[in-house]
């Protein structure tokens, strides 16, 4: 049973436009959510996070939105750049520390 799902395996966006990556979860006990970016042959790199008591967190070009009632979060990248091309994983944490990851979305930003 997948508790964290990223239903879009891939997304293609033009440079300069907005990229929106989505993530759904089923476990209402998750209290913290994170996005990681992963380039080939590298480990995941932390990008941005949000606590369950907030509905938005912004860091430069990256904004994460959390809709608790819908059990849905999204990552917005504006403007998208070719260097943003990578696999993006959302992850959720229950009270404690174990992370549950989604399956990832491959983002391709075309110049």
Partner 1 sequence: DSGVTQTPKHLITATGQRVTLRCSPRSGDLSVYWYQQSLDQGLQFLIQYYNGEERAKGNILERFSAQQFPDLHSELNLSSLELGDSALYFCSSNKRVTDTQYFGPGTRLTVL
Return contacts of 62-66, CB within 8 angstroms, 24+ apart. 62/35, 64/33, 64/35, 66/33
Question: Toward partner 1, which CB reaches closer, 6 or 19?
Answer: 6
Q: What angle do CA 62, 85, 72 make, to 5 degrees?
A: 45
**Among residues 11, 20, 99, 108, which is the contact residue for partner 1, using CB under 8 A?**
99
Report the half-sphere exposure of 45 (CA within 13 A, side-chain side). 10
Which residue carries 């992370």 as its tokens? Answer: 99
Is residue 44 part of the contact set for partner 1 (CB under 8 A)?
A: yes
**Among residues 22, 49, 52, 57, which is the contact residue for partner 1, using CB under 8 A?**
49
**Among residues 71, 89, 92, 107, which is the contact residue for partner 1, using CB under 8 A?**
89
**Among residues 1, 28, 41, 53, which is the contact residue for partner 1, using CB under 8 A?**
41
Is residue 100 part of the contact set for partner 1 (CB under 8 A)?
A: yes
């Amino acid at each position: 049973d997948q508790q964290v799902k990223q239903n879009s395996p891939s997304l293609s966006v033009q440079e300069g436009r907005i990229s929106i990556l989505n993530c759904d979860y089923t476990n209402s006990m998750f209290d913290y959510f994170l996005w990681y970016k992963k380039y080939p042959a590298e480990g995941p790199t932390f990008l941005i996070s949000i606590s369950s008591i907030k509905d938005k967190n912004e860091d430069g070009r990256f904004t994460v939105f959390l809709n608790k009632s819908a059990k849905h979060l999204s990552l917005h990248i504006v403007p998208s750049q070719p260097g943003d091309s990578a696999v993006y994983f959302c992850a959720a944490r229950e009270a404690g520390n174990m992370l549950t990851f989604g399956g990832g979305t491959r983002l391709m930003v075309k110049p």
